[in-house]
Chains A and B, each alone.
Chain A
Amino acid sequence: MLQLVNVESYYGGIHALKGIDVSVEKGEIVTLIGSNGAGKSTTLKSISGLVKVKTGNILYNGTEISNKPTHETTLLGIAHVPEGRRIFSKLSVKENLLMGAFSVKNKNVIDERMEKVFHFFPKLKDRIEQKGGTMSGGEQQMLAIGRALMMKPDLLMLDEPSMGLAPIIVEQIFEIIKELNQEGITILLVEQNAYQALQIAHRGYVIQTGKIKLQGNGHDLITNEEVREAYLA
């Protein structure tokens, strides 16, 4: 579904990706783990077009998408939930969700998708008229994921969805990620919380200073000595 072939990107003058190869197959949960500044977020941003790719190829369903403008990449069915949630804090919860479905003009489709989002995140329904910025961190993360679901993506990229959230909320979010995957959405998950991520992932990549250090299926990585020492200690 998605292939990154020897991708190199610069992020604010820093050579952030030094030749990354990652592939994601349809129906998988794939996780990218690694420490701060390893290049996890830059990888997602390179895919969605927020960061320019210097060399290498990014293929989505066989077509080259590197250096396509972001609004076109997302139209192909790639939703990117950015790090730090980045909800529109001055827009209402409803407007945030409507922004997710910006490319959709049919009101029935929008309503249908919104119901679907409320099915996963019933709390959002109670807060529909509230400004996004007035919600708690966990609710904001739910809104950010809900907003991405409004695009009805084939590939959902999540950048550190557990960041700054209470353990019980993290648990919930990962549960929902699993459910979404079971509904057929392919997931590319970036996490510092390696243990949680590897538990739900089919496969994982360990990224270090802009290069892939290790890869394997979730279970293998979780029991790998190197991974245990560096990320699970």
Chain B
Amino acid sequence: MLNEVIQTIPQVLIDGLALGTVYAVIALGYTMVYGILELINFAHGEIFMTGAFIGTALLIFMTGTGWGSALPAIVMLIIVLIVTAFLTGFLGMGIERLAYRPLRNAPRLIPLITAIGISFLLQDIVRFIAELTKGNYIVTGPSLFTEQVLIKTSSISSIFNDASIKTSFIIVLVTAVVMMVALDIFVNRTRWGMAMRAVAQDRETASLMTVNVNKVISITFFVGSALGGATGVLFAVQYGTIDPYIGFILGLKAFTAAVLGGIGNIRGAMIGGLLLGVLEMFASANLTLLTGGVFGAEYKDVFAFAILIIVLLFKPEGLLGKPVTEKV
């Protein structure tokens, strides 16, 4: 049995990383907003979903026009990623301005409920527009990067099976890694990134340092939402078909990944996302085998979340989180 599990590992890792990077980048949006406002922005999953739709719409539009299809697919994708990132970035910023800022000093539960409300609103707006223009809210984008590449992992050692990957996987992986590295540099090496960390720690004192706190919060929402929206595009490219409800489960898992890594911790969110993705794919590939057929692959979430609970039991602050010390 062990041999069979080991054989699947290359494929599990590849699929797990593809899913994991998606979780990781979305988890960043949750963790950044939580770090700065202690708000769980449940609408973030829907920003991701909106990004997937905007991206798909742009891709359909561009492949439909002559000059769009003349471009190499990769250039087209980069344009779509950037445009979508800006649009969803402004969407996230607008949501904060209109829905969360007026509630900044309200009890914490109130903006949380508002966030859930925004989620439903975005789902239905996207569904409405999709049905109006396409006649169906389930949309399939143009297939790009569908060539399969076979990686001969069996040549490393005969205990592994070969793994196959879609070209789109490489694009998802590279783009997601670029986004994460860029964010890490932004937060740790730039002036506004430093201001963001300062505001996350102590809003009042940051304002005493001539920092416009509202501006920093707007930037945080912009960056988080831009990354989330761009990931939506990657998701659409990788998995093809999207609907207005993909943001819910994916957002929930990305949020889980953020908690797993230590909410508020940016590198934690990255690690949490990758880990959750790999765990989920591992369960999906091996659950039937491991349980002797009692549980099928569809129980993968139970497995992944059981691991999560075990980790949090022993390390409640998350993998990279630091235990909270109360401010005196």
Q: Is A146 part of the binding interface, using a Cβ–Cβ cutoff of 8 Å?
A: no
Residues of B within 8 A of A87 (CB): 205
Q: Which residue of A lies closest to B197 (CB)?
A: A91
Q: Is the CB of A102 within 8 A of B210?
A: yes
Given contacts A88-B205, A95-B194, A151-B210, 12 further A-B contacts (CB under 8 A): A71-B207, A71-B211, A79-B208, A88-B197, A90-B201, A95-B197, A95-B198, A98-B191, A99-B195, A99-B198, A100-B209, A102-B209
Q: Is the CB of B202 within 8 A of A102?
A: no
Q: Is the CB of B208 within 8 A of A82?
A: yes
Complex interface bits, B201-221 against A, C-beta within 8 A gives 1, otherwise 0: 110111111111100000000
Q: Which residue of A lies closest to B188 (CB)?
A: A95
Cβ distance B52 to chain A, nearest Cβ, rounded Å: 35
CA distance A86 to B209 in the complex (A): 12
Residues of A within 8 A of B213 (CB): 71
Q: Is the CB of A91 within 8 A of B208?
A: no
Q: Is A182 part of the binding interface, using a Cβ–Cβ cutoff of 8 Å?
A: no
Residue among B194, B205, B210 making CB contact with A86, cutoff 8 Å: B205
Chain B interface main SS type: helix
Binding site for B on A (CB under 8 A): 48-50, 69-71, 74-75, 79-80, 82, 84, 86-91, 95, 98-100, 102-103, 147, 151
Residue among B191, B197, B204 making CB contact with A102, cutoff 8 Å: B191
CA distance A100 to B328 in the complex (A): 22
A-B contact pairs, 13 of them (CB 8 A): A49-B207, A50-B207, A69-B207, A71-B211, A71-B212, A82-B204, A88-B201, A88-B202, A88-B205, A99-B194, A99-B211, A147-B209, A151-B209
Chain B, range 180-207, C-beta contacts under 8 Å to A: 191, 194-195, 197-198, 201-202, 204-207
Residues of B within 8 A of A69 (CB): 207, 212
Cβ distance B203 to chain A, nearest Cβ, rounded Å: 10
Q: Is the CB of B210 within 8 A of A103?
A: yes
**How many interface residues does B have (CB within 8 Å)?**
18
Complex interface bits, B110-134 against A, C-beta within 8 A gives 1, otherwise 0: 0000000000000000000000000
Q: Is the CB of B198 within 8 A of A75?
A: no
Cβ distance B186 to chain A, nearest Cβ, rounded Å: 15
Chain B, range 255-269, C-beta contacts under 8 Å to A: none
Chain B, range 28-44, C-beta contacts under 8 Å to A: none
Q: A71-B213, A88-B202, A102-B191 known; A80 and B197 CB under 8 Å?
A: no
Residues of A within 8 A of B194 (CB): 91, 95, 98-99
CA distance A103 to B211 in the complex (A): 8
Cβ distance A10 to chain B, nearest Cβ, rounded Å: 14
Cβ distance A13 to chain B, nearest Cβ, rounded Å: 13
Q: A90-B197, A102-B195 known; A74 and B210 CB under 8 Å?
A: yes
CA distance A28 to B201 in the complex (A): 33
Q: Which residue of A lies closest to B201 (CB)?
A: A88
Residues of A within 8 A of B201 (CB): 88-91
Q: Is the CB of A102 within 8 A of B211?
A: yes
CA distance A74 to B213 in the complex (A): 13
CA distance A86 to B199 in the complex (A): 12
Interface centre among A71, A75, A82 (most CB of B within 10 A): A71
Q: A91-B197, A91-B198 known; A82 and B211 CB under 8 Å?
A: no
Interface centre among A50, A86, A95 (most CB of B within 10 A): A86
Interface centre among B198, B202, B208 (most CB of A within 10 A): B208
Q: Is the CB of B210 within 8 A of A75?
A: yes
Interface centre among B195, B206, B213, B328 (most CB of A within 10 A): B206
Cβ distance B253 to chain A, nearest Cβ, rounded Å: 28
CA distance A87 to B328 in the complex (A): 12
CA distance A87 to B208 in the complex (A): 11
Residues of B within 8 A of A82 (CB): 204-205, 208
Cβ distance B187 to chain A, nearest Cβ, rounded Å: 12
Cβ distance B213 to chain A, nearest Cβ, rounded Å: 7
Residues of B within 8 A of A102 (CB): 191, 195, 209-211
